[in-house]
Structure formats: structure tokens, C-alpha cells
Structure 1
């Protein structure tokens, strides 16, 4: 019994001694430990910044802070742009005369309305001569722009009529429930082919009959493109006319084709017959007159190909 009590007291004293040593070690460690966030504000950071560390609070780099460098860059870019624009204009004007094309689009609302009326009702028009204006000494006589002369050819109406004709074909096909996307492409190709063929025939006729007028190729293209105005009216009329009155379609087609042929017969006279002093006995005059009537008759064929 004595030995057990003695051992018990010995173990208890030993446990108390170990616990006291542990508390002293923890107290010593806690006294020496100072958290980093307890550093006073304004004191220098004892830890140097490591290499590769990025300070995101620093002021961002601004490449335009140096005004002289910015102005030099802007000036260099402007010079490069001006040089490129000048180069493109020089090479573009080598093949296409932009000022001359602008002349054919110099129209206004009054001209467009009067021109459309002339295309549909050309039989009552009296004067078909084009107006000219005198130069300033360095340039000779030139024709007035379309907005100043109703008899002047333009490209605004032919281009708009060409696009409207393609859309009209698609509209008529949609009304008849037979529309397909390829119809628009086929129609555009066919219409463009007909116009180019007529222009080539006109140029060939002028060459064979020695027509030496200073007519531009764009003039002939304009005259050949006026036919789309009458064809559009014929196609829209066909879309709304009942099937039992189909003969009215042929009446409208015949009238618009004859009106287009008569318009070209009178408008192309200043091109095919520029010399009014030619007598009736001159063989070239007779051939050129026949050429004019051939061009007018050709409108019936070309309008029919574009109508059906």
C-alpha cells in the first residue's frame, strides 16, 4: 500500500513539472512573435521587395505623354494616308475617268420626272437637239449636263431601272409562286448581256458606216439602258392582269417597245447623222438612216427577250 501511494505522488508531481515547462515555452514563443500586420503606418518595410513583383498601384504607362512624339506620329500617319490616296487616284483615273462618270449622274428630281415622261410618251416631243455650252477659251464646246438638258443621256435612270427590273422579275415570280433565288442572278446576267450586245452592235455599225462623231461609250450604254423603264411597266402590268385578259399584256408590250424604238431613233440621230449637210443622194446617209431604223426594230427583239 505504501509503494502504490508513493508512486502515485511521484507521477502527479512529474506531470505538474512537465505542464509547467510547456506553459513557459509557449509564453516565451508568444512574447517573441510579432504579427506583420501590427507594423505601424509610415514605418519603412523591413522586407525588401522581391524581384519580379509588380506594383499594380503604380501609374500606368502613357505613350502619348510626350506631346512631341505624339504629334510626330500623327503627322507621319497623315502623310502616309495622303500618299496612298494620291497613288490610288492616279492609278484609278488611268482606267476610269471619275469626273466624266459624275457628269452622267448630274441629275435632279425635275429631270428624272421629265425624262421618264419622255421615255413613255416620246411621240409629242419636238426638239431632240442637245444643248451645248461654250468654253472659256482653253476648252471647246461641250454638252450640258443632264439636269440642264432633257435630251442629254444619263446613267442614273438606266442603273436604277436595271436594278428595279431584276427586283420586278423576282416579284412577279413570287406572285406566281415560282420564285427561286437563282432567278435574280439569271435575270441580271441576261439583262447585262442584252445591253452589252446592243452596245457592241452600235459600235460596230458606227465603224462600218464611218460615223466619226465624238460619242462616248457611256452615251451608247445609257441609251441602251433606257429600255428597262418600259419593260418594268409591262411586267408589273402582267402580274395584276387576269389570265383571261392576256391580250392586254401584248398591247402594253407593243406600245412600250415602239416608244423605246422611237426614242432611240430620234436620240441617236445626232450620233449617226452628225453632219446635217449630207444630201439625200449621199450613199452613207442612206446606209446610216437604215442603221437607225434597224436599231429601232431591234428594240422589239431585245424587249421581248427581257419580258418573257
Structure 2
């Protein structure tokens, strides 16, 4: 009984007063102290500066070989522009004004000027051409992933070779043309539109339809390239005065005709074996 009474009189210990098994050595103020340290702050600022400089250097290096900022211009298109451009590629005979519009010494975006080159149509046309080629091979029971990949890589290789040949020719002729490598890729990629039309005609109407529509598209792309490139390649000569029959001007004209005439040859070469 005395023990029970003493136990009743002993005050109960609160949870906050319970003994700790281990001493808490963690200090929540350590990160704050490190951040408050001037040396740490200086190191963090220096590291951030190095990261920004490295990002800028990498961006300049990439833009030097692949002009990413410039590529945005070639994809600035809309639905109206795409429709008008496709009509111009297939029916260029009635188009009169081929001059590219400028604003503050810079060409306007393609969606505001139908004469401006773009990369949206060439890229989409190339992909569509590969798909239509696969469809044509499938209807002939000749489809295989390897053959389709060979068709795509062959078309891409010919495009690269064509652009390199034109650039080399411009260098040899010493023409200061307002043509970049991206412009040449755009102009050379427009021929895939006519190739798609020819292949679809071959699938629907056989060889007769293929040859008829491909011939029309070949003439259309030839006229389109002549009227577009002559403003680029012959621009320097036109600025000097009336075009004469000097040897240099004749070389420029021959180069323009050669580039335009190469388009129908490649259109036929890359499609004739897909139609039976």
C-alpha cells in the first residue's frame, strides 16, 4: 500500500522530458551558413558564369555549322502559303512577279511571300515520296524495309550531291549569288512534289499516266527553277548593267540552265523503277 501511494503521488513525466537515446548532432543552420559564406557564394556565381559561357560557346559552334536560328525562317509557313506554293510548283507558267520581297534588308518570311524559299514543303514532300514509294513497292509485292531504306537513302544522297555540285560550280564560276546551301536544298527539294504526282498517277493509271503527269511536272519544275534561279545567279550581273554576251555572263546562264535541267533527270531517275 505505501508503494502504491507513492506511485500515485509521483508526477507522470511528459513526453518532452523523456530521455534521448542518442544526441542529435545535426545542425539545420549548416546549409544556410555555407550559403552565407562569401567564398561559397563566389564559387557558385563563378560556376554559373562558366555554365552560361559554355552554353553560349556550344550554341555558336552549332549555329556555325547548322544555322538553327536561320532555319526558323524557312519553316515560317502557313496553310495558305503551302497551297499557293504547291500551285506555283505545278503551274508556274502564268506567274509574273518572281522577285523576293525584303523588309529592312532582310527577306520576309515565306508565309508573306510566295517567292521565298522554304523547307517545310521539301521535307514533307521527301517523307511523302518515301511513303508513296513504299506503297508502289507493296502493290508490286516487292516491298521490304531494306529496299525502302535504300530508296530513301538514295534520294537523300542524290540531293546532297546535287547541292554540292551546284555550290562547287558557283565557286568555280566565281558568282557572288544570293544563294546559301539551305536555299539550294529548298529549291532542289521542290522536285519531290512532281515525283509524288507522277508516282500517284502511275499507281492509278499505269505507265501512261505516269509518263504524262511526270512530263508535265518536269516542264513545270524546269520553268520554276529557271525563273527563280536567274534572279539569284544573274543578280550580280544585272546590278552591273544590262546583261551582255560576255563569257562570264554566258557561264552564269549555262549554270542556271544546267541546274534547272538536272531536276527532270533526277525526277525520272528516282521514280521510273517504281512504276510497272
Shorter-chain TM-score range? 0.7 to 0.9
What residue number does 1:111 align with?
81
Say which is worse superposed, 175-184 or 151-160, in terms of deviation.
175-184
**Residue 242 of structure 2 corresponds to residue 258 of structure 1:** no
Quote the Cα distance in structure 2 between the aligned partners of 1:129 and 1:156: 20
**Residue 119 of structure 2 corresponds to residue 187 of structure 1:** no
Quote the Cα distance in structure 1 between the aligned partners of 2:265 and 2:118: 23
Quote the Cα distance in structure 2 between the aligned partners of 1:110 and 1:67: 58
Within-5 A mapping of 1:13-52? none
CA RMSD after TM alignment: 3.2
Find the partner of 2:142 among 173, 178, 184: 178
What residue number does 1:27 align with?
none
**Residue 77 of structure 2 corresponds to residue 101 of structure 1:** no
**Residue 114 of structure 2 corresponds to residue 150 of structure 1:** yes
Which of the pair has the greater relative contact order for Cα pairs under 8 Å at 6+ separation?
2
What residue number does 1:196 align with?
160
TM-score, with length taken from structure 2: 0.76
Max Rg structure: 1
What residue number does 2:261 align with?
297
Quote the Cα distance in structure 1 between the aligned partners of 2:128 and 2:30: 57
| 1:207-248 per-position Cα deviation (integer Å, ceiling 9, x unaligned) | 23221123211111110010000101111121122xxx5222
What is the deviation of 1:67? 9.2
Quote the Cα distance in structure 2 between the aligned partners of 1:131 and 1:207: 26
Report how many residues are paired: 245
| 1:193-219 per-position Cα deviation (integer Å, ceiling 9, x unaligned) | 111121122112212322112321111
TM-score, with length taken from structure 1: 0.69
Quote the Cα distance in structure 1 between the aligned partners of 2:260 and 2:231: 15
What is the deviation of 1:83? 6.7
Unpaired runs of at least 5, structure 2: 1-11, 14-20, 37-43
